[in-house]
A and B are shown apart, each in its own frame.
Chain A
């Protein structure tokens, strides 16, 4: 009788050992599937963060003829460009605007109309001869330097070029609300 119960015990133990092994295997194999499956899943999910999904031209965009420009009289010109939004390519549409100013030395400067503070549209105030952002009253002079107001930096200048009497601007949006000018 003694012997019998001992045997039973051993049997029991070995069975428990087997079950414990099965448990470990089950958990291990399940995690294996989980990991194998999550790799592509996660890659797909995070993809847009690693990609440029909305693309406007980063090249020079023609904004128009420079004839008829007067020194220190800002002109607002629309930037037209085609835009790429993930799979869709939109035909040329207005994507923004710039203030074009002919300097005293006859060169041209282009300022983004987007206020570096929080992104409102900057206007030219003819009477006072200043740029003004109406949202929180930032003022800039004709060179784009801050006169007063909450804007953390001067108006953003954009790269320009003149080819055959036409002005080109490299249109870019900059990060808002910080002192440095960094393209987004």
Chain B
């Protein structure tokens, strides 16, 4: 020990750091500053650990975060702590600043304490902004665009600044590498520098005690920093740590939305501590936008930095500095109001609520599918792991120019929403020439059916039973079905089991995978529409794998209203 001490002077150093008289005694109201230091250290620790698993590239970022979150022991907790930590820093910073303002702690000779502190506040905001993008999920991707677009509004140099920050003309790999670099090198270096300055100045000028007691009373009540104040700081740290852990536990880590999809439409919302700025934007339209986005926030920032030079009176008692306390209170109240306004209007926005629900479903699905491995083309490609999803894409690509689907698509061929479901078939038999079915096609040979409800129901059972090509149709059902075919004159046009006409689609294997595939490949075959056919052949245009998935998708329409995205 002595050997080490002789060479390093460690003990002296520690002593120097800890040995400081706190005039007027240790106080609970002083804990916020050191709590900020402690949370920041926790952020460094969790951040460094997260960086061992994170990959800053547009194709890998989401996957790596997914891997940390879902496939790494306690990964969700570490990520959750890092996420909650940013909110904790923000809350503590606000408390610390409020305390400083009330105590008038920025007054001469502590102007630079204040200024370095304000810079740290800006840096913390920068951490929040850059960190939000890193998972490359929907909300991070879209919300951050708002921020970089705002940079583009800066008169004159906007585009240049935007290009520097986002790394080029659009979001991509370089946006992530740069944001990552800002988040883990630039900003921490900045924060540590200002923190060193801040702490040095704090030691130089000491704490700012309560304004009431006079000099001699303060002197009399002086207590040492270690352990009197530190004990209080540590207790505060324990409480903060407990709250953070509980929050992480309760929310099971931090949210990870589905991978960023530049082709989607997503209404982005920033982290809660940016909501007031976000709300402010709403009040300035078109040409005035630059006012809400840049000019007002800049004025506020400058005013904040200038406070020590504006509030120059001798007294630190709040009662004697009413305009400043009032001004600060008003600003804070304004921020709170804007934040609440934004939250309230969001909570009433139907579209936003629907989107929230949808994005939760998508996130869950994405995480499920990611378990199968993420294709090298990137996070958003996880959905291609889902044959149904791919089937729907094929469907949307090839079919909906003519076929209607969920209120969209063309109308020159039958609407395929809930295709071959009982209700679809029922509607079809009742009115095959409605717009929804053959109405706008050139095919009008199918007569309307006047059969009774019960018979129709049996007919549908009978027809759908054909789709199970593996199991033979129940003989009784088959008997009833064939009787209905006779009675309704179906055999005039349709074939079933070697009997009947051949100029309408065969009923053998109706709605089976095979039947659908054949129809899509070439509906002009004898066994489908033959010479009445107007549907193009897809034999050449849709590959085998895609065809399987398309059939799977079409079959899925039968049981469920739709697995597609809600409108």
Residues of A within 8 A of B (CB): 19, 22-23, 25-26, 29-30, 32-33, 36-37, 39-41, 43-45, 47, 50-51, 84, 86-91
Contact = CB atoms under 8 A, between A and B. Distances in A.
A51 B68 CA distance: 13
Given A41-B46, A45-B52, A84-B373, A26 B74 contact: no
A45 B370 contact: no
B74 A89 contact: no
Interface in B339-377: 370, 372-376
A41 B45 contact: yes
Interface pairs A-B: 3 shortest CB-CB? A89-B373, A87-B63, A40-B74
A41 B78 contact: yes
B127 interface: no
Contact of A43 (B67, B74, B81, B238): B74
Given A37-B45, A41-B45, A29 B73 contact: no
A87 B231 contact: no
A86 B224 CA distance: 52
Given A23-B227, A26-B227, A88 B72 contact: no
Interface string B453-492: 0000000000000000000000000000000000000000
A89 B382 CA distance: 10
26 contacts: A23-B226, A23-B231, A25-B231, A26-B227, A29-B234, A30-B237, A33-B238, A36-B245, A37-B81, A40-B74, A41-B49, A41-B78, A44-B52, A44-B53, A47-B72, A47-B75, A51-B71, A87-B60, A87-B63, A87-B64, A87-B71, A88-B376, A89-B373, A89-B374, A89-B376, A91-B375
A88 B231 CA distance: 48
Contacts of A47: 72-75
B231 A32 contact: no
Contact of A90 (B49, B71, B376): B376
B74 A44 contact: yes
Contacts of B42: 37
A37 B73 contact: no
Contacts of A30: 234, 237
Interface in B53-98: 53, 60, 63-64, 66-68, 71-75, 77-78, 81
A87 B49 contact: no
A137 B245 CA distance: 60
B241 interface: yes
A37 B52 contact: no
A21 to B, nearest CB: 9
Contacts of A45: 49, 52
Contacts of B241: 33, 36-37
A29 B235 contact: yes
Contacts of A37: 42, 45, 81, 241
Interface string B109-126: 000000000000000000
Interface residues of B, number: 38
A44 B49 contact: yes
B228 interface: yes
B230 interface: yes
A36 B77 CA distance: 12
Given A26-B234, A87-B66, 9 more contacts: A36-B245, A40-B78, A41-B46, A43-B73, A44-B72, A44-B78, A86-B71, A87-B373, A88-B373
B366 to A, nearest CB: 12
A26 B231 contact: yes
Contacts of B230: 22, 26
Contacts of A23: 226-227, 231
A40 B66 contact: no
B24 to A, nearest CB: 17
Contacts of B74: 39-41, 43-44, 47
B238 A89 contact: no
A39 B77 CA distance: 10
Name the residue in B52, B227, B228 with the highest tally of chain A Cβ atoms < 10 Å from its Cβ: B227
A44 B75 contact: yes
Contacts of B237: 29-30, 33
A91 to B, nearest CB: 7
B458 to A, nearest CB: 46
B373 A22 contact: no
B228 A88 contact: no
Contacts of B49: 41, 44-45
A144 B459 CA distance: 69
A152 B312 CA distance: 83
Contact of A88 (B53, B73, B227, B374): B374
Nearest to B378: A88
A146 to B, nearest CB: 39
Nearest to A15: B223
Nearest to B248: A40
A50 to B, nearest CB: 8
A48 to B, nearest CB: 8
A33 B42 CA distance: 10
A154 B223 CA distance: 77
A86 B69 CA distance: 13
B32 to A, nearest CB: 17
B370 A87 contact: yes
B75 A29 contact: no
A115 B235 CA distance: 61
A37 B41 CA distance: 12
A91 B234 CA distance: 53
Contacts of B60: 87-88
B227 A87 contact: no
